[in-house]
Amino acid sequence: MTHPWFLGESTPRILAHRGFVPSDSENIAENSVAALAAGRSAGTVYLESDCHLTADGDVVLFHDDDLQRVAGDPRPVAHVRTRELADIMSTRGGLALLPDVLRAFPDARFNLDVKADAAAQPVGALIARESHRVLLTSFSDQRREVALRAARDRGGDPATSAGSRTIAGVLAALAVRLPRLAARRLDGVQALQIPERHRGVRILSRRLLDVAHRAGAEVHVWTVNEPVEMRRLIDLGVTGIVTDRADLAVAERARVL
């Protein structure tokens, strides 16, 4: 059965990467409440974000391990109290606490990347009741599986996309021309979320798309910001575009469909 996260929306899906920061906006940081709202306003229901844990044990949507890039503060997110982090983000679009944004955006579908080991279990627990509209992922398959177990232990069943170990197994099987083995590596995942290339090595290929689609898994490519590249990937058969420019991607999809 198709997971509800994938139902009711046409492909290619447009995933607003860390929300959307419009080019004319001021003092809006990625992954902030304002960025998530802008992503929805751009015309996509899919909001991609990242999960860390504060010093108080609260799950916040934040990409980096520390505050350096967003606030010029070298401290790790895990060492900052939630109230202080909220103060810091108050002039940057608002701190996005996971429970709050699940309530604030009831019609959105979330793509949540668990960035810290300590956040995996809390994330799974928090999204259990909303798992029909959550896709869980992580570069770490182990971290992803911890979050999935925590959700399932509470009656949830989120969708999930493959971590690095699973993707490496799929690519290795394709390299030795074993497509059935590659497909078996995709058991239990509904999506592959990949860059087109990584460190000069091509990840996306026609063979990968064919194997994934036969296995019932979608392929979402990140991070694609140029319309000509969006169009090329859509023509190739990619089923999801992860982008910093949700506005351009929504417009491009409308032209293609």
Instruction: Determine the Cα–Cα distance for residues 3 and 1; give it in Å rounded to an integer.
Output: 6
Domain borders along the chain are 4-256
CA distances to 20, 176, 244 from 224, in Å? 13, 29, 7
Given phi > 0 = left and psi -120 to 50 = alpha, else beta, which region is 188?
left
Active site residue 79: no
17 catalytic residue (yes or no) = yes
CATH architecture of 4-256: Alpha-Beta Barrel (3.20)
At 257, the pLDDT band (50, 70, 90 cuts) reads confident
pLDDT in the model for residue 24: 87
Phi, psi of 143 (to 5 degrees): -65, -40
Residue 135, φ and ψ in degrees, nearest 5: -110, 120
Give the pLDDT confidence of 120-139 residue by residue, as tens digits. Answer: 999 999 999 999 999 999 99
Q: Point out the catalytic residue in the list 3, 17, 132, 213.
A: 17
Q: Which of 3, 52, 63, 213 is the catalytic position?
A: 63
> pLDDT (tens digit, 9 = 90+) per residue, 178-216?
999 999 999 999 999 999 999 888 999 999 999 999 999
Task: Report, as an integer, the average pLDDT of 32-59.
Answer: 98
